[in-house]
Amino acid sequence: MNDMMLLLGDSPAVLIGFTLVLGLMVGSFLNVVIHRLPIMMERSWKQEYQSYFDPEKSPEQSRFNLIKPDSQCPVCQHKIRAWENIPLLSWIWLKGKCSQCKTPISARYPLVELLTGLISGLLAWHFGFGWPLLAALIFSWLLIAMTFIDLDRMLLPDQLTLPLLWLGLLLSTQHVFVSPVEAIIGAAAGYLSLWSVYWGFKLLTGKEGMGYGDFKLLAALGAWVGWQYLPMIILLSSFVGAILGLILLSVQGKDKGQAIPFGPYLAVAGWVTFLYGEQLSDIYWSWMLA
């Protein structure tokens, strides 16, 4: 183990390769989280409702978590074997189809794995060997999971946003990325800024413009990058959201009144700011003062 740590610390190429492969494996697990966590939450809500209002009719539910039951084809219930679950390679080997019933397997599974692997390798190149790299990996993996859950379900689970928030605050006590003051103010300002927008919009229109999960996500991002970069995150996420929203409306013909998740735009803007906030700030001010 010590030899492995020394090799990772001494060889950037080995570190990047190792982290990329680790990211591919984590991406495979994130696919499970993205699919199962919302179902687990829904089951929990129903069970709590039944146990409170009608405990005698509370249904027995089969075991369902991130580990069990084993992954299987939703059509033929074929259990996925180990060689069919190798990140990225198995999808290519199977030509994107179930080995038994030939039902197409969504290309998003290998794309999530590839995205997680590439981002992990980039973080290894950016930070190098050390605790900041480990923290940055966890930060990025949680954002990837939240992004795709929000795209699927319009939901940002507390099970992901709150650990991200508390981890950012804990890291600030060691000045890993920002100071405790910057992190605490960032978390509070992040939450309150979108909370204020939410209530202002609701009072004016009578409609809800966003969910409480967005407040918590921005609070978590504020704990990681500090309050100084919150305006940049809000500006970037709003710009990206507006552009992609217009594209979706024109390409997919979505109703203009249909809700669009804001969490993915916050996540992308927060991740970019986390890595390149200082450079982006310098570019912005040099452009403004030119």
Which residues make Cβ contacts (< 8 Å) with residue 223, sequence separation at least 6? 164, 165, 168, 169, 172, 183, 184, 186, 187, 190
In angstroms, the CA 26 to CA 6 distance is 23
Last residue of a domain, one of 63, 96, 129: 129
133-162: average pLDDT: 96
Does residue 17 sit in the same domain as residue 110? yes
Give the angle subtended at the CA of 198 by the CAs of 193 and 201, to the nearest 5°: 120
Over residues 157-181, the pLDDT tens digits come to 999 999 999 999 999 999 999 999 9
Pick from 111, 129, 147: which residue ends a domain?
129
116/163 same-domain check: no
Same domain, 16 and 61: yes
Question: Residues 96-128: pLDDT tens digits?
Answer: 888 888 888 899 999 999 999 999 999 999 999
Cis peptide before 261 (omega within 30 of 0): no
Of the listed ranges 41-45, 177-181, 267-271, 272-276, the least confidently predicted one is 41-45
Q: What is the DSSP letter of 267?
A: H
- Residues 48, 160, single domain; the answer is no
Structure token digits, residue 13: 């190429």
Spatial separation of the C-alpha atoms in residues 75 and 92, rounded to whole Å: 20
C-alpha–C-alpha distance, residues 219 and 165, integer Å: 7
Lowest mean pLDDT among 181-195, 202-216, 227-241: 202-216
What are 1-11's pLDDT values in tens digits? 777 788 888 88
* Domains identified in the chain, total number: 2
pLDDT band at 248 (very low <50, low <70, confident <90, very high): low
Q: Quick one: pLDDT at residue 216?
A: 96
Using CA atoms, how far residue 159 sits from 38, 146, 156, 165, 273, in Å, is 10, 10, 9, 11, 23
> What is the pLDDT confidence band of residue 251, given thresholds at 50, 70 and 90?
low
39-48, 49-58, 71-80: range with highest mean pLDDT: 39-48
Claim to verify: residue 110 and residue 189 sit in the same structural domain? no
> 275 vs 73, 137, 160, 168, 269, CA distance in Å?
38, 12, 20, 15, 10
pLDDT at 10: 80
CB 112 within 8 A of CB 27: yes
Mean pLDDT of 174-194: 96
- Determine whether 62 is exposed, middle or buried from the number of CB atoms within 10 Å of its CB (0-12, 13-18, 19+): exposed
Q: How many angstroms separate the CA atoms of 172 and 28, rounded?
A: 30
Q: Give me the domain span that covers residue 216.
A: 130-290
pLDDT for residue 266: 95
